Chains A and B, each alone.
Chain A
Amino acid sequence: QKEVEQDPGPLSVPEGAIVSLNCTYSNSAFQYFMWYRQYSRKGPELLMYTYSSGNKEDGRFTAQVDKSSKYISLFIRDSQPSDSATYLCAMSVAGANNLFFGTGTRLTVIP
C-alpha cells in the first residue's frame, strides 16, 4: 500500500465549476501537507501548504486537512482554463528531508 493515494483522474469540468481534489494517506506522523501544480512538460510548483489539521484559503484555492480521517482536499472555486494542470498532493513528517507525493490528478477546465 502506498503511503499517499490520489485518484489520477482525469477530471474534466466546465469553466466556473468548483473542483474538489483529494488524497488519503496512511502515515499518521505526517504533519505538513502540500499541493503542487504541474503544467504539462513543466516542473511542479508549490501551490499551497498547511500544517497539521485545518483549512487554509488563498484566493480561489482552499486546502483542507482532516488528520483524524487521514484525508486532505484542495478546492478550486470559479475554475478557469488556466487551472488545467496536474495537481499533486505531498506530505512530510516535521523535520524530515523528503516529501511523499501522490500520483497526481489531471484536471482540465473546459471554456
Chain B
Amino acid sequence: NAGVTQTPKFRVLKTGQSMTLLCAQDMNHEYMYWYRQDPGMGLRLIHYSVGEGTTAKGEVPDGYNVSRLKKQNFLLGLESAAPSQTSVYFCASSYLRASGRLSSYEQYFGPGTRLTVT
C-alpha cells in the first residue's frame, strides 16, 4: 500500500495564479483532511471531508476550495494564489472503526506539498 500520496511535491506560483493539489489514499479511509504547516503556527486544518461527496470548513478555509468526488481522492484548490498561502500543505486520512466510534486520532499523513507564491 502506498498510504497517502500527494501531487505535486513542489510548486511555485505567481500571485493570482490557480492550482489544484491532489491527495490520494489507498486505505479505504472515510475521512480526509487538508492542513497547512507554517513556522511557529503548527498544523492548521483548512478543510476536511467525512465521506465521498462531503466537505466541511476547518480553521483556516478562506482562499481555498475542496472537492471529494471519489472516496480515495481529496482535491485542494487555490483559485487566486496569494503570498500568504506560501506554506507546506499536508493531506491526511483517518478511518471509522467498525464499532462506529470515530478513531479521529489515527490520522495518516502524506509527504506534503511545498508551495511558494511569489
B31-45 CB contacts (< 8 Å) to partner A: 31, 33, 40-45
B10 to chain A, nearest CB (A): 11
A92 touching B105, Cβ below 8 Å: yes
Task: Given A98-B58, A103-B41, decide whether A42 and B104 contact each other with a Cβ distance below 8 A.
Answer: no
- Bound complex: CA A102 to CA B44 (Å): 10
Task: Given A46-B106, A49-B105, decide whether A97 and B112 contact each other with a Cβ distance below 8 A.
Answer: no
- Bound complex: CA A4 to CA B107 (Å): 18
B42 touching A99, Cβ below 8 Å: no
Q: Is the interface of A mostly helix, strand, loop or mixed?
A: loop
| Tally of A-B Cβ pairs under 8 angstroms | 61
B48 touching A101, Cβ below 8 Å: no
A43 touching B48, Cβ below 8 Å: no
B107 touching A99, Cβ below 8 Å: yes
A104 touching B106, Cβ below 8 Å: no
- Bound complex: CA A84 to CA B39 (Å): 18
A32 to chain B, nearest CB (A): 4
Q: Cβ of A41: which chain B residues have Cβ within 8 Å of it?
A: 112
Nearest residue, chain B, Cβ from A51: B105
Interface size on A, residues (CB 8 A): 24
Q: Cβ of B102: which chain A residues have Cβ within 8 Å of it?
A: 95-97
Is the CB of B16 closer than 8 A to any CB of chain A?
Answer: no
B104 touching A43, Cβ below 8 Å: no
B104 touching A92, Cβ below 8 Å: yes
Q: Cβ of B92: which chain A residues have Cβ within 8 Å of it?
A: 43
Is the CB of B90 closer than 8 A to any CB of chain A?
Answer: yes
A98's partner among B40, B42, B48 (CB-CB below 8 A) is B48
Extra contacts besides A44-B109, A97-B102 (17): CB < 8 Å: A8-B40, A34-B105, A43-B4, A43-B90, A43-B92, A46-B105, A46-B106, A46-B108, A92-B105, A97-B31, A98-B58, A99-B104, A99-B105, A101-B43, A101-B44, A103-B40, A103-B42
